[in-house]
């Protein structure tokens, strides 16, 4: 995976925990096969907490997340 690509670790409603390095608070991300949009709202080492703007019903741990920069 590239530096701006990671994967979902956990999902809790519209909040997704992602293993993703070199990302910033407020950065936009594209999530899963449906390319859902979200925003990084918290950082803790290589883990990022993302607020997803759409339903997370079809997301699964392991789905790919791409930071948009």
pLDDT at site 22 = 87
Phi then psi dihedrals of residue 31, to 5 deg: -125, 130
Does residue 2 surpass a pLDDT of 70? no
Alpha-carbon distance of 32 to 66, in angstroms, equals 9
What pLDDT digit, counting tens, does each position of 4-35 carry?
A: 899 999 999 999 999 998 899 999 999 999 99
Pairing mode of beta strands 28-31, 15-19: unpaired
Architecture of domain 5-56: Beta Barrel (2.40)
pTM: 0.91
Average pLDDT, the chain: 95
CA separation for the pair 40, 43 (Å, rounded): 8
Side-chain-side CA neighbours of 65 within 13 Å: the count stands at 34
User: What is the pLDDT, as a whole number, of residue 69?
Assistant: 84
């Amino acid at each position: 995976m590239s530096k701006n690509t990671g994967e979902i670790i956990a999902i809790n409603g519209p909040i997704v925990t992602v293993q993703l390095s070199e990302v910033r608070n407020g950065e936009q991300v594209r999530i899963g096969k449906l390319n859902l949009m979200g925003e990084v709202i918290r950082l803790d080492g290589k883990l990022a907490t993302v607020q997803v703007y759409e339903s997370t019903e079809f997301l699964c741990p392991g789905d790919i997340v791409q930071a948009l920069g």
